[in-house]
Structure 1
């Protein structure tokens, strides 16, 4: 009795050992197929080739289990790949079906075969891939039958199509829009208000600037250091700049005689013409004739310049702000 029980257990173990590899193989097996929607076409017609791989739910959920579909080139033997779809997944109860569709065509007449398709199956992270191969598919590519009993017909003439404005509606709309935009821009540019120029009011008047420069000239003691020409050049330039800014006279560009003639219409400035004439005469001799005026003449010229500024300085009223306080008289 005991011996029979032992023999029975050994026999069951042997049976299970033989069946275990087959069960593992069944778990790893993947059903792959390649089907065509037709096996007979005419030259230039298209075929839909459907590639599928069926996985169990356990295989689909396994992150290390992968199935790689075959990569078809643009040209096969006697066939051309027109389009190819993306890989898609269908769920059918406990199965997951991966499928991809290819559109093929052929321009060679005869009986041809779509070659077997090789799928790569990976069952583990570092496992060697297995191959699953489909069967070839035979396709007949037929030529167009020509009835040779009938006569050849002449080529038909080209027929004109009646003109319709609706054939050009897009161009008309674009042209009208362009005209409206251009017209709107022209109207806007012509009617818009031009920005008024901003006139900056000087914070320091020409009189104040001239007084400050005369003060700086005295403090530098230029003529005391022997630079007589520099002293009179700066002195006359201060007065000329003051006349130009205060009375709108181009004093910097005029000779001494021209300046004395142009100050006549300015009443206040004309009343100081004798002082200005004497100052300019000494300055011209010192700058151009190398005259050496005395110390008293240096101080007297500075005093005359200060008196001219004091006599012609603008009043503090709003009407005198721009230096137009000088009344004009006929020359």
Structure 2
């Protein structure tokens, strides 16, 4: 009766690890000619697809299958059955690995008539080649050699200084120089009317001698801007931002609303002058000298006519003016806030870059960006006992019970109690889980079968490229178990991609129980390594 009991126990191990069973793919099959090779040797992965004569089949391509290197993809062989209806296509790949350990050949896509079928995953054990060190010549350890590039530090200090100077100058230019210049301009503007200001600017334009120097485009551009600025200040319409057509339409609406006595000829002359300026600026038109003089004369007469037609502002006109002025004020404040935000972002970026250059990425990550696992290491740890048979462990936070899974009939008969507890997640950079299982009768649990079930669970949840190594393990009090460790690629929630992780699993078995501790952290995270080491040293078991 003992073999039957052990068989049920192995089934229970898979169920306890939440393994998802998949139906066998009959149309596509995958196999490997050897599940164990020497380091650098070749194993052959064979994919067989049963298709009809006209079916189109695309086999996997690439230079790697998971962490295994594809040495060669052999030509596809074709085997037809006796009746000639079905055809079996056979594709063989030669794979290898130059590091020892347990490797997983992930599920590979085979496309048949635009339908993708995933193969089963396979395992390959790569073993080391024994070397007789007694017959090998030994050499002394070489001295430490200084890494190149140490003399370039001065260059980064110069770059940092230039960036700081540029940001400081930009802040001064936008917030202090422009603000001061605006105040200086505002003093005389408060003492003159829009028409007086425009007339004065036109006289100043003539004194610049732009036409004498052949700068016709600049001359027309300033002349048009003077007219637009006058209209914006006197009539209160957004003239500087409008096209010529939009400006004339806005002028007509404003004249009707404010009952300005303007004749159609005035609008026509204004439009003609502004369109001539547009032609000079954008179409590179070159008017004759007498045409330039006429446009200059007409623009001055036109703004004078417009100014005389503006009636004294009534209450409703004053409300409209105040509304327009308020809109302009809010617009300027919005531009100022945007400028402050971008200047702050730029300054922060320069400071962060400088800190990285001077102190390095690890220092900035730990002290500025606050690595989550660093907070776990430096926080107050909790030591507690979980499950039955009890596992005593020290963790950064208290583990929370995981809801138990319901086992099918036939397996519950073997189980007395099953409990699981966890903390964190891969999204939070670190995960810990403690699980215990007690049996009603004494059972011999096979660690290899149990760990294989857990690996398949991870694969069913999207984990890829699982590398596994196994060694014996003892707690400080001498209780023996196994340590299974390695790396994997773990998907993140909500389709946010995946991250490379390292994991450690500790398995123990007692007379009527199984105890399991799993810790997972992100690869390259030194604080995750410190957490793993501290947890490993704290593991203790309570015997039944």
TM-score range, shorter chain: 0.3 to 0.5
TM-score relative to the length of structure 1:
0.34
Pick the structure with greater CA Rg: 1
